[in-house]
Amino acid sequence: KTAVAAVFAFLIFCFLLTFPFSGTTHRPENIFAQTSSQESDTGYDFVLVIDESGSMKNNDPQNLRIDAAKLFIYLAEILNKGNRALVAGFGEITNVYAPLTDISGNEKELSSAIDQIKSNQDLTDMKGALTKIKEILDNRAEKRKTIVIFLTDGSLTLEDIPPETGEGKTPGTEKKPGRTPGDGDGDDPDDGPVDTGAEVTGKSDSKSESGAVKTPGGYLEQYKKELLDLYFKYQYDGIVITPIAFTKESEVGLLEQMAFITGGVCLKPEKASDLRNSFLDILKNITSRFIRSEDQKNISPVAGEITMDDYIKEAVIISLKNSFNENPGLSLTDPGNKTGIYDEYIEEKIFKIAKIKEPLAGKWEYEINGDSIFIFDIIDSLLLQPEFGLYTLDAEIPFEIKILSPEGGDFKNIAGDLKISAAVEDPNGKITENIELVDSGTGKDSKQSDGIFSGSYSGSTISGYHNVSLLVQHAPTQSQSGKSMSYEAIKLPVKVTLLEPSGTFYGLGKEITIQVRVEQAGTSETSDRPFNLADYYISYNITGPQGQVSRELALMDNGKGPDTEAGDGIYSGIFSATSQEGDYRIDYFITDITKMLELACTGLKSGFAVGQVPGLVIQIENNLFAGEKTVVSANLEDYSAAELRYELK
């Protein structure tokens, strides 16, 4: 068995050398993090896929998910023009209530489609829903940046999925019990036909096409595997899924995996009233808008004042229906004591929206009947780090967010009003807050006042998915913007130490030796098998002066080339593409080839500069003390040991 395992590991290793991990070190593009309104020249396709299972009657009895989805549709177009939306509900089958439609001019039609979402289906066929949505998106004539918002409160057990993978129930057969007893029994106004034209087929054969008997546990695992395969199909086409895991009973693990693989973020509202904020978080991440919410606590209106500076480009104020006010309303008074002067005003039964472009600087008074939301367009931001989706558990996770100066404005005028920080939620739900990010050129920040705020996090001790929020707070309006992403931390029984490069400056065209030491961390008792260096594949990415990246360059421990001894745990390589002057950055990765398909970032970094090496000429003339020693000194700080050459004549 040991010999077979060794041969198998060797074959995998050879496969990796022949077919490198293309794209596996760089997580899928997180359009939440890496998009700004300054860069957005086309709109988004928003796909709303909302759970219609009977359990939603208990978890969302007031249909707050419906109100939140309607508000999202309106705000998505107000904040970023040119979007389209699709509305679907799912359970046992998937109903498309509105095909992909331009939002502008069709807001009421899309709201009516959202109203058709019920709570009357028996199952929670996530795979069936994502399969149907993928087919629709594949057939689009015009493909855009796409976000699928997937809201569910369901777990994933045998009672939640169809009798056979990929197939619905046989027409006319008895209904399968749902998650909530009594739902779908025909006595509720929500009950009734849920299939608006979906084709359903079914089989009662307990064997697969290959003839193998399907055990219940095996069938559920196969369903989850096929669901995982779907995630990768979405990833391949650049379609981001943002799950909203509504209630603690929802299948959080699978939903986190869904978000991680496709480049989204898994949102976890604890109750129905939190759903609105989840939809707002999506808009905040996409548009970099600053948002502040204030709920009405009694029958008295929400009133106060907000200071708006001249750098605020736009303000949107919203009043929402609540238990105190079925008919929301709002009133704004500008610094010139004028009331009701808006660039755009929208009235719906459940909300009122006022939009003001380039609001007057000064104090604005407001009085709002209903819950209130304030949205401000102040500055844009881009999330730069964490760059990768998979890290070793002992890695120090870098944080970087770039604050973009407003068009025609000066960032220095705004910086004093901003506070930048980070928060990390670990797999157990523990949140580490107020991790300071600075632009001071100290600590983890490489350059002062370049608009890039930096920090790091190394407090994780638990393997699994971590959610990261980089927060930008604006003090005058008491509002908050930011970017979010997720990464996975894994534990490996190894320690990686940097050996080379040891220099900080090299000449153009110089070959650079890259070298790390890999050794066992802890004892063999902490691992599921004996430690073996041959199980690990080490590589590095190097980022050049113009941002170009050479990915997954292998480091070898084979005693060849720059590696002096095979099997000593020192992995070596040569980087020779140093023809450009400037700064180079190296990130190091590791994978266990016996059980991993992706490379994990170790958190190790190194860097060096490349440039012309000036000649150093020392000339002594008219030595008055012929025959005596002459002391000659020079400042050699700009030379690494590898570049220093001297001649004595």
Q: What is the 3-state secondary structure (H, E, C) of 212-270?
A: CECCHHHHHHHHHHHHHHHHHHHHHCCEEEEEEECCCCCCHHHHHHHHHHHCCCCECCC
Q: 194-203, 285-294, 585-594: lowest mean pLDDT where?
A: 194-203
Q: What is the pTM of this model?
A: 0.80
Comparing CA positions, the residue from 198, 194, 253 lying closest to residue 228 is 253
Is the pLDDT at 531 greater than 70? The verdict is yes
The span from the CA of 165 to the CA of 2, in Å, is 37
The span from the CA of 288 to the CA of 472, in Å, is 9
Instruction: For 74-97, give the DSSP string.
Output: HHHHHHSSS-EEEEEEESSSEEEE
Q: Going along 15-69, which residue ranges are E strands?
A: 44-51
Rounded to the nearest integer, the mean pLDDT of the chain is 82
Task: Please answer whether residues 429 and 266 qualify as being in contact, where contact means their C-beta atoms are separated by less than 8 angstroms.
Answer: no
Comparing CA positions, the residue from 288, 201, 239, 210 lying closest to residue 484 is 288
Please give the pLDDT value at position 532: 92
Please give the pLDDT value at position 589: 97
Query: How does DSSP classify residue 31?
Result: T
Comparing CA positions, the residue from 252, 314, 276 lying closest to residue 62 is 276
For 256-275, what is each residue's pLDDT tens digit? 999 999 999 999 988 878 89
The span from the CA of 350 to the CA of 318, in Å, is 10
Residue with tokens 């940046």: 145
Q: Per-residue b/e over 390-400, b at no fewer than 16 CB within 10 Å?
A: bbbebbebbbb
Please give the pLDDT value at position 414: 86
Q: 119-123, 519-523, 556-560, 609-613: lowest mean pLDDT where?
A: 519-523
Fold of 44-170+177-200+216-286: Rossmann fold (3.40.50)
For 229-248, what is each residue's pLDDT tens digit? 999 999 999 999 999 998 77
Pairing mode of beta strands 44-51, 84-90 = parallel
What pLDDT band is residue 631 in, cutting at 50, 70 and 90? low
User: Higher model confidence: residue 346 or residue 628?
Assistant: 346
Residues 561/564/565/567 CA torsion (nearest 10 deg): -60
Q: Which two tokens stand for residue 543?
A: 């980022």
Is the pLDDT at 168 greater than 70? The verdict is no
Is the pLDDT at 339 greater than 60? The verdict is yes
The span from the CA of 132 to the CA of 148, in Å, is 12
What is the number of alpha carbons within 13 Å of residue 61 lying toward its C-beta? 1
Is the pLDDT at 178 greater than 50? The verdict is no
Is the pLDDT at 582 greater than 90? The verdict is yes
Is the pLDDT at 188 greater than 90? The verdict is no
Report whether the peptide linkage leading into residue 614 is cis, meaning its omega lies within 30 degrees of zero. no
Determine the average pLDDT of the residues in 42-57.
92
Please give the pLDDT value at position 23: 37
Q: CATH topology of 291-377 equal to that of 380-490? A: no
Beta bridge partners of 450: none
Please give the pLDDT value at position 613: 74
For 81-114, what is each residue's pLDDT tens digit? 899 999 999 999 999 999 999 999 999 999 999 9
Determine the average pLDDT of the residues in 565-570.
95
- One CATH from 2.130.10.10, 2.70.70.10, 2.60.120.380, 3.40.50.300 for 291-377: 2.60.120.380
Determine the average pLDDT of the residues in 321-340.
94
Residue with tokens 């929802």: 250
CATH class of 2-23+493-611: mainly beta
Task: Please answer whether residues 378 and 360 qualify as being in contact, where contact means their C-beta atoms are separated by less than 8 angstroms.
Answer: no
Contacts of 563 (CB under 8 A, 6+ apart): 556, 557, 570, 571, 572
- Burial (CB count <10 Å: 0-12, 13-18, 19+), residue 153: buried
Task: Please answer whether residues 68 and 279 qualify as being in contact, where contact means their C-beta atoms are separated by less than 8 angstroms.
Answer: yes
Please give the pLDDT value at position 528: 65
User: Higher model confidence: residue 218 or residue 42?
Assistant: 218
- Burial (CB count <10 Å: 0-12, 13-18, 19+), residue 387: buried
Q: 583-587, 609-613, 628-632: lowest mean pLDDT where?
A: 628-632
What pLDDT band is residue 71 in, cutting at 50, 70 and 90? very high
Please give the pLDDT value at position 618: 57
Is the pLDDT at 12 greater than 60? The verdict is no
Task: Please answer whether residues 152 and 255 qualify as being in contact, where contact means their C-beta atoms are separated by less than 8 angstroms.
Answer: yes
- Burial (CB count <10 Å: 0-12, 13-18, 19+), residue 27: buried
Determine the average pLDDT of the residues in 601-614.
90
- One CATH from 2.60.40.1930, 3.40.50.12280, 3.30.300.30, 3.40.50.2000 for 380-490: 2.60.40.1930
Is the pLDDT at 451 greater than 70? The verdict is yes
User: Higher model confidence: residue 22 or residue 116?
Assistant: 116
Q: CA–CA distance from 212 to each of 160, 205, 220, 366 (Å)?
A: 23, 11, 15, 68
Spell out the domain ranges in the chain.
2-23+493-611, 44-170+177-200+216-286, 291-377, 380-490
Is the pLDDT at 514 greater than 70? The verdict is yes
Beta bridge partners of 610: 506, 582
Q: CA–CA distance from 450 to each of 121, 379, 390, 401, 445 (Å)?
A: 54, 15, 28, 11, 10
Q: Please state, as a whole number, how many other Cβ atoms lie within 10 Å of the Cβ of residue 289.
A: 23
Q: What is the percent of the chain with per-residue pLDDT over 70, rounded to a whole number?
A: 78
Please give the pLDDT value at position 270: 82
Please give the pLDDT value at position 252: 85
Please give the pLDDT value at position 529: 74
